[in-house]
Amino acid sequence: MTTVDGLAHGLAVALQPSVLIYSLLGAVLGTLVGVLPGIGAMAAITLLLPITYYISSEAALVMLAAVYYGAQYGGAVASILLRLPGTPQSAVTTLDGYPMAQQGRAGVALFTAMISSFAGSMLGIVILVLLAGWLSGLATSFGAADYAAMMVMGLVAASTIGEGRLAKSLAMVVLGVILGCVGTDVNSGAQRFTFGQVQLIDGINLVALAMGLFGLAEIIGNIRKAERDGPPARVSLRELVPTRDDLRRMVAPITRGTALGGFFGALPGTGSTISSFLSYALERRVARQPERFGKGAIEGVAGPEAANNSASITAFVPTLTLGIPGDPIMALMLGALVIHGIQPGPMMLEANPDMFWGLVVSFGIGNLFLLVLNLPLIGIWVSMLRIPFRWLYPAIIIFVCLGVYSVRGSTFDIVMVAAIGAIGYALTQAAFSPALLLLGFVLGPLIETNLRRALLVSRGDPMIFLERPIACGFVIATFALLIYGFVKRSDQGSQASSVAD
Partner 1 sequence: MICCQTRRGAAVAAFLTGCALSSAAMAQDWPAGPVHVFVGFPAGSSPDTIARIVAEPLAEALGQPVVVENRPGAGGVIAVQQMLARGDDSFGININGPLTTAQRLIPDLGYDPVADIAPVGLIATSPLVLAVGADFPADDLAGFIEAAAEPEAISYGSVGEGSGAHLTAELFANAAGVQLFHIPFQSYAEVTTSILGGEIDSGFMAPSAALPQVEAGTMKMLGVTSAEPFAQVPDVPVIAGTAGLPENFRAELWNAFIAPAGTDPAVIERLNAELNTILADEEVRERLLAMGWQAQPGTPDDLAQRIRDDTALWGGVIDTVQAAE
Chain contacts with partner 1 (rule: CB under 8 A): 45-46, 49-50, 139-144, 184-189, 191, 196, 198-199, 201-202, 268, 322-325, 328, 331-336, 338-339, 341, 343-348, 408-410, 449, 453, 456-457, 459
| CB nearer partner 1, residue 17 or residue 50 | 50
| CB nearer partner 1, residue 51 or residue 384 | 51
| CB nearer partner 1, residue 383 or residue 449 | 449
User: What value, to the nearest 5°, has the Cα angle with vertex 134 and ends 347 and 480?
Assistant: 145
**Least distance in Å: CB of 140 to partner 1?**
4
Neighbours of 486 (CB within 10 A): 10
Q: How far apart are CA 183 and CA 190, in angstroms?
A: 8
Encoded amino acid at 211, one letter: M
Please provide the DSSP assignment of 344-376 as one string: -STTHHHH-HHHHHHHHHHHHHHHHHHHHHHHH
Encoded amino acid at 418, one letter: A
177: helix, coil or strand? helix
| CB nearer partner 1, residue 309 or residue 450 | 450
Q: Which residues contact 98 (CB under 8 A, 6 or more apart)?
A: 79, 80, 81, 83
Contact 150, 474 (CB under 8 A): yes
**Least distance in Å: CB of 189 to partner 1?**
3
84: helix, coil or strand? coil
**Least distance in Å: CB of 474 to partner 1?**
16
Indicate the angle between helix axes 389-408 and 41-48, nearest 10 degrees.
60
**Least distance in Å: CB of 262 to partner 1?**
20
**Least distance in Å: CB of 198 to partner 1?**
6
**Least distance in Å: CB of 346 to partner 1?**
4
| CB nearer partner 1, residue 17 or residue 189 | 189
| CB nearer partner 1, residue 338 or residue 398 | 338
| CB nearer partner 1, residue 50 or residue 230 | 50
**Least distance in Å: CB of 397 to partner 1?**
24
**Least distance in Å: CB of 337 to partner 1?**
10
| CB nearer partner 1, residue 64 or residue 427 | 64
Residue count of the chain: 501
Question: Within the chain, how many helices (H) and strands (E) appear?
Answer: 23, 2
Q: How far apart are CA 162 and CA 167, in angstroms?
A: 10
Q: How far apart are CA 391 and CA 400, in angstroms?
A: 15
Contact 303, 256 (CB under 8 A): yes
**Least distance in Å: CB of 467 to partner 1?**
13
Measure Cα distances from 368 to 4, 20, 114 in Å: 21, 12, 11
**Least distance in Å: CB of 44 to partner 1?**
11
Q: How far apart are CA 11 and CA 131, in angstroms?
A: 19
| CB nearer partner 1, residue 17 or residue 196 | 196
Q: How far apart are CA 250 and CA 102, in angstroms?
A: 20
Three-class DSSP labels, 222-248: HHHCCCCCCCCCCCCHHHHCCCHHHHH
| CB nearer partner 1, residue 73 or residue 405 | 405
Q: How far apart are CA 10 and CA 391, in angstroms?
A: 47
Find, among 271, 219, 209, the residue nearest to 403 by Cα: 209
**Least distance in Å: CB of 372 to partner 1?**
30
| CB nearer partner 1, residue 163 or residue 185 | 185
Find, among 150, 259, 258, the residue nearest to 477 by Cα: 150
**Least distance in Å: CB of 142 to partner 1?**
7
184: helix, coil or strand? strand
191: helix, coil or strand? strand
Local structure of residue 335 (DSSP, 8 states): H
| CB nearer partner 1, residue 185 or residue 354 | 185
Chain Cα centroid distance, residue 465: 28
